[in-house]
Structure 1
Amino acid sequence: MFTNYFKQVILKLKFNYRKLLSIVAIIAIWELLCDIGYVNIRILPSPYVVLITLYHLIISGSILFDMLTSLWRVIVGFLIAVFLGIVTGYFTATNKKASDFLTPLIEILRPIPPVAFIPLSILWFGIGNAPAYFLVAFGSFFPIFTNTFYGIKSVNKIHIDAALCLGASRKQLVFDVIIPAAMPFITVGLKTGIGVAWFCVIAAELVGAQSGLGYMIQLNRLTLQSENVIAGMVMIGLIGFLMSRMMVFIQKKLVPWSNKTS
């Protein structure tokens, strides 16, 4: 038993090592190019300088404030998108009148990039949190809506008929049959939506905010502090990665059977 356990641990470590190999290789090449003077370190500072800069920004607390501000905007906007996306997806999938009314509008709005709404969002809501909430909600809505719609459409009608024959109420049918059956699709939409949300909030902060990681990057760009810009980008990448892994964890908890059957 212990032998099998250690084999699994070793295999997992090897797998993680392969995942990190590409990142380590890129950092090593980057450091080498900076050391030999092939690139201008004022424009592209070395990984060591970026790491030291990030450390000082964390110790000072300035980047942590911007990080928490961006996270709050993502959470609020994403929760709005989750509510609207799931509710709208459910009604358009189960009600023909709702589908006929909402589908044309959604199909017209879907191809428009969220960043195209930045000027209008600033005009409508001013500078601050509200434009970021709007852009995050708008960008995250479509993957959540689409996956919810197709997830509910994919529910086996035999399961619905069986539940009705057993005397299930409308509430039981929705929350005990339809939503659980569509959950693998919905969680994929949530995972995609959180990535879009993070992209949207940074884009909004670059031009329409006075705080947040996007604003921090823009401010340091204007003062030509490229090491701070890249440190902010690294922080954005790390948080985005952690949020993606968090959604994978939630997906495994909500729909554990989907991982076993895939």
Structure 2
Amino acid sequence: MSSAAIRRAARFSSALSGLGLLVAFWALAAAGLDNPVLLPSPAEVAGVLGEVIGSGAFHRDLGASLRRVLGGYVLASGLAVPLALVMAAWGPLRQSLLPVVSLLRPIPPIAWIPLAILWFGLGDAPSFFITAIAAFFPIFLNAFAGGLAVGGRYLDAARCLGATRLALLLEVRLPAALPMIATGLRIGLGQSWMAVVTAELIAAQSGLGYMIQANRLTLQTAHVLVGMVTIGTLGALMTWAFTLAERRLLVPWQEN
């Protein structure tokens, strides 16, 4: 077995041991409380999970949340990265818009929900909006920092070779900022999940957040935890896939 395979096996074993400790602590806490309404055991939640996986309602809620996360995330990425790089490259625009960003960034996504409902009603549209708001700022700030960090000598060398302003943006700033952009995209993905569940708790009639809220009202705590576990698992898998793609695409590029 190669050293790389041994390291991967060690990391996998460490991850499993951490998850095992979490489940063991959960089981002990549930046994101590001895009240499934307050905290059902892992075995009870696993049994409920097996039941709901076969239901059409669960699949609809899962699909609705995934659609909203990906829709808002793509929208935020498509706006944040170009805007950040253009602001990093053009001083007047940077001076005009940075105060606006500084004003809007501290507002939590949940505070936008009343306006989102007024503007878009219930359903997918307000969830797209809230998710995009949540993902926009981490993506923007990292891309902006990456665009500003480009070494002046690279820009000067490109100008000496006759590069236009667009070429400087696409062929110098963008490649140099890619590691920071990737970091922002990874953080924004996690923010998207947190925001979509918040939006679904209030402004939707489907999705995992809606499922959690509906079961909370009927004191079906095991179903609530099924929704939470599903969200955590999906978020972790998407982050893992993103990190793997980043490692495959960016690390060789940076080394070259």
TM-score tier (shorter): over 0.9
Identity percentage over the alignment?
A: 41
Matching residue of 1:160: 155
Kept in 2: contact 1:183–1:254 (CA 8 A): no
Find the counterpart in structure 1 of residue 10 from structure 2.
14
- Cα deviation digits, residues 1-56 of structure 1 (max 9, x gap): xx5x2x44334222221222122122123224444x53312321110110111122
Cα deviation, 1:69-111, whole Å, max 9, x if unaligned, reads: 1111111111111111112211221112211221111101111
Match of 1:255 among 241, 250, 253: 250
Alignment of 1:12-161 (within 5 A): 12-35=8-31, 38-161=33-156
Matched, 1:181 2:176: yes
Distance 1:148 1:32, change over 3 A: closer
Shift of 1:59: 1.7
Aligned-partner residue type, residue 74 of structure 1: V
Aligned-CA RMSD value: 1.9
Q: Which residue number corresponds to residue 237 of structure 1?
A: 232
Q: Name 2:197's counterpart in structure 1.
A: 202
Query: TM-score w.r.t. structure 2 length?
Result: 0.93
- 3-state SS, counterpart of residue 62 of structure 2: helix
Say how many residue pairs are matched.
256
Moved over 3 A (4+): 32-35, 167-172, 257-261
Aligned-partner SS, 2:122: coil
Measured in 2, the distance between the counterparts of 1:70 and 1:25 equals: 29
**Long gaps (5+) in structure 1:** none
SS at match of 1:255: helix
Measure the CA separation in 1 of the matches of 2:143 and 2:8: 33
Segments of structure 2 that go 5 or more residues without pairing to the other structure are none
Q: Please say if residues 61 and 206 of structure 2, whose CA atoms lie closer than 8 Å, have aligned partners that are also in contact.
A: yes
- Residue pair 2:33, 2:39 contacting (<8 A) in 1 also: no
**How far off its partner does 1:166 sit?**
2.8
Shift of residue 127 of structure 1? 0.7
Is the alpha carbon distance of 1:67 and 1:218 closer, same or farther for their aligned partners in structure 2, counting shifts above 3 Å? same
